[in-house]
């Protein structure tokens, strides 16, 4: 490659990136999932419109898996363990038994309604049975839902990629006789167990290292944190285990450890996740040929309706019945099974394996994702309101950032008082922070204030506090508690535990 060709490639890449960012802003204003416009950017840039020619399914598969790893690392880093720990069992059942039920129902419907042979029908069922982590994280976290519902769908989407990838690989390599169920089960169990163990171990090693090693620059902490997630993904893949589950669990462990510069790390990971999503969806848009898509509309509608109205509801009902989850929440979880990049990436596997009819399968999956994202995504807020699950009075949590002060053996905490927080209107002495924690400075608009005991906090204030590692967690809990319930938080039973919203203000209640 010449230097001039490099410049042209970077120019094209930068233009596509900025166009995708503009598309994300437009999608947000229109109330549409961003992935649709990212796919549109790829289709427009493709061979039938602007003329970029990309038809390498093997490369798309490899890059797609790498992008999914980054997206899942970011998802793990931004997931509160306190919110999902009690949901691991139902999420695990949905991600395994639920996937199996969904694959079976979808395959039977595709075989009888679309006339697909059993191998292609099973492939289609496996490809579309996984909920998409990127779509779920992007859409559900903007809705004021009970944490139990959001946490369950997020945990399921983080866990179910691994079983579906395994099933797609099995069905893509099957020749003639149907695969042995015992072999499939053993493969799934090994990949999940080994991938999970590698992810947890890597996360714990990374957390221990980052807590005890003082790096020379703040920006290295986010890089190191995401780097440990990438190591977990690659190590698991090298051992024939699930790199996807390893990446998610490593991110989950690291994101729930008291690490330096947590807010900066999450911000960096969020940016990396957006970049991975943009690159992934644009690439998948380039991969399809628009002129081939119209013939896939009717099969995609049929397969999508089977999935939405039969396979997903049956799998949710069968898996969640033992956990006594209310029917309203089950109905929303069933509707919230969003599809996105994962099915399109999985559709490249049979193409790489040379399965007859695989290209038509890719077109069906692509159209299905687009159509049913348009149907499901915008309807989620209305579905939540209709089912009575929204919490209009839900408050935004404060964000606490930690920076180590090595010489003093102390920590600097920075807190912003968000809109609606009960910290506003509280005097400094009413915070009752655990000693020796002290509020040293308030940044208010363009001014800095050295507070006295009688200084009142306001919305938008940035607070700088000095504490010690021994009492840091207690100080953070106290700040959260006052932010949720005000200066009488302790008397009202609010102790500021992470992920616990406590009773809602003004006499309301929260789940």
* Same domain assignment for residues 441 and 357: no
The predicted structure's pLDDT at residue 198 = 95
Return the SS3 of 442. Answer: strand
* Same domain assignment for residues 172 and 196: yes
* Same domain assignment for residues 351 and 473: no
* Same domain assignment for residues 156 and 239: yes
The predicted structure's pLDDT at residue 199 = 93
Residue at a domain's end among 355, 386, 417: 386
Asked, as a colleague might, if the bond just before 356 is cis with ω within 30 of 0, I would say no
Establish if 320 belongs to a structural domain. Answer: yes
Query: Would you state the torsion angle of the CA atoms of residues 446, 415, 73, 132, taken in this order, to the nearest 10 degrees?
Result: -80
* Same domain assignment for residues 40 and 181: yes
* Same domain assignment for residues 155 and 261: yes
DSSP-derived letter for residue 430 is G
* Same domain assignment for residues 380 and 410: no
The predicted structure's pLDDT at residue 413 = 86
Establish if 130 belongs to a structural domain. Answer: yes
Establish if 56 belongs to a structural domain. Answer: yes
Q: How far apart are CA 228 and CA 73, in angstroms?
A: 9
CA distances from 32 to 7, 58, 139, 247, 305 (A): 33, 30, 9, 28, 20
* Same domain assignment for residues 189 and 303: yes
For residue 435, give every residue at least 6 positions away whose Cβ sits within 8 Å of its Cβ, in sequence order, or none: 471
Beta strand extents in 33-156 (DSSP E only): none
Establish if 491 belongs to a structural domain. Answer: no
Give the CATH number, domain containing residue 421: 3.30.70.1450
The predicted structure's pLDDT at residue 215 = 78
Give the CATH number, domain containing residue 340: 1.20.1530.20
Establish if 496 belongs to a structural domain. Answer: no
Range of the domain at 370: 3-386
Model pTM score: 0.70
**Segments of the chain scoring below 70 in pLDDT:** 1, 27-33, 51, 133-142, 174-180, 391-409, 498-511
The predicted structure's pLDDT at residue 455 = 93
Domain count along the chain: 2
Q: Tell me whether strands 400-405 and 462-467 are parallel, antiparallel or unpaired.
A: unpaired
Establish if 372 belongs to a structural domain. Answer: yes
Structure-block tokens of residue 199: 């992810």
The predicted structure's pLDDT at residue 232 = 94
The predicted structure's pLDDT at residue 408 = 59
* Same domain assignment for residues 70 and 104: yes
Answer yes or no: are the C-beta atoms of 370 and 39 closer than 8 Å.
yes
Establish if 507 belongs to a structural domain. Answer: no
CA angle 28, 29, 31 (to 5 degrees): 65
The predicted structure's pLDDT at residue 178 = 58
Residue at a domain's end among 386, 417, 450: 386
Q: How far apart are CA 132 and CA 161, in angstroms?
A: 8
For residue 283, give every residue at least 6 positions away whose Cβ sits within 8 Å of its Cβ, in sequence order, or none: 42, 54, 60, 63, 64
Residue at a domain's end among 338, 360, 386: 386
* Same domain assignment for residues 429 and 352: no
Establish if 506 belongs to a structural domain. Answer: no
* Same domain assignment for residues 147 and 244: yes
The predicted structure's pLDDT at residue 102 = 92
The string of DSSP codes covering 189-238 is HHHHHHHHHHHHHHHHHHHHHHHH---SSTTHHHHHHHHHHHHHHHHHHH
* Same domain assignment for residues 244 and 276: yes
């Amino acid at each position: 490659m010449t230097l001039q060709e490099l410049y042209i490639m970077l120019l094209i890449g930068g233009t596509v990136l900025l166009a995708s960012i503009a598309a994300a802003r437009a999608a947000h204003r229109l109330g549409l999932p961003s992935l649709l416009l990212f796919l549109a950017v790829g289709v427009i840039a493709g061979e039938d419109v602007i003329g970029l020619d990309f038809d390498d399914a093997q490369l798309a598969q490899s890059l797609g898996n790498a992008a999914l790893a980054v997206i899942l690392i970011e998802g793990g880093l931004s997931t509160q363990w306190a919110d999902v720990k009690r949901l691991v069992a139902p999420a695990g059942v949905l991600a395994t038994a639920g996937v199996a039920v969904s694959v079976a129902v979808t395959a039977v419907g595709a075989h009888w309604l679309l006339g697909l042979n059993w191998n292609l029908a099973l492939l289609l069922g496996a490809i579309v049975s996984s909920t998409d982590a990127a779509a779920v994280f992007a859409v559900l976290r903007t809705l004021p839902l009970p944490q139990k519902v959001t946490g369950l769908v997020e945990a399921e989407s983080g866990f179910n990629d691994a079983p579906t990838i395994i099933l797609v690989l099995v069905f893509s390599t099957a020749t003639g006789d149907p695969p042995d169920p015992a072999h499939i089960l053993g493969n799934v169990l090994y990949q999940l167990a080994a991938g999970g163990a590698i992810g947890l171990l890597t996360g714990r090693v990374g957390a221990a290292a980052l807590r005890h090693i003082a790096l020379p620059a703040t920006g290295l902490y986010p890089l190191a944190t995401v780097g440990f997630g990438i190591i977990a993904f690659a190590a698991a893949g090298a051992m024939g285990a699930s790199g996807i589950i390893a990446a998610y669990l490593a991110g989950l462990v690291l994101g729930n450890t008291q690490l330096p510069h947590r807010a900066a790390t999450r911000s960096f990971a969020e940016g990396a996740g957006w970049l991975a999503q943009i690159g992934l969806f644009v690439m998948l848009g380039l991969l399809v040929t628009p002129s081939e898509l119209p013939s896939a509309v009717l099969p995609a509608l049929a397969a999508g309706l089977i999935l939405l109205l039969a396979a997903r509801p049956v799998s949710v009902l069968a898996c969640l019945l033992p956990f006594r989850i209310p029917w309203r929440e089950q109905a929303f979880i069933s509707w919230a099974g969003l599809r996105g990049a994962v099915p399109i990436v999985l559709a490249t596997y049979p193409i790489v394996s040379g399965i007859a009819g695989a290209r038509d399968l890719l077109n069906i999956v692509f159209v299905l994702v687009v159509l049913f994202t348009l149907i499901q995504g915008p309807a989620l807020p209305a579905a939540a309101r209709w089912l009575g699950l929204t919490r209009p009075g839900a408050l935004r949590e404060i964000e606490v950032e930690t920076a180590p002060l090595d010489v003093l053996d102390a920590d600097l905490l920075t807190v912003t008082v968000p809109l609606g927080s009960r910290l506003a209107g509280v005097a400094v002495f009413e915070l009752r922070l655990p000693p020796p924690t002290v509020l040293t400075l308030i940044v208010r608009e363009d001014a800095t204030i050295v507070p006295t005991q009688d200084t009142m906090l306001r919305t938008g204030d940035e607070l700088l506090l000095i504490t010690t590692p021994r009492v840091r967690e207690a100080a953070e809990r106290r700040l959260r508690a006052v932010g949720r319930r005000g200066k009488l938080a302790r008397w009202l039973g609010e102790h500021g535990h992470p992920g616990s919203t406590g009773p809602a203000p003004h006499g309301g209640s929260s789940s």
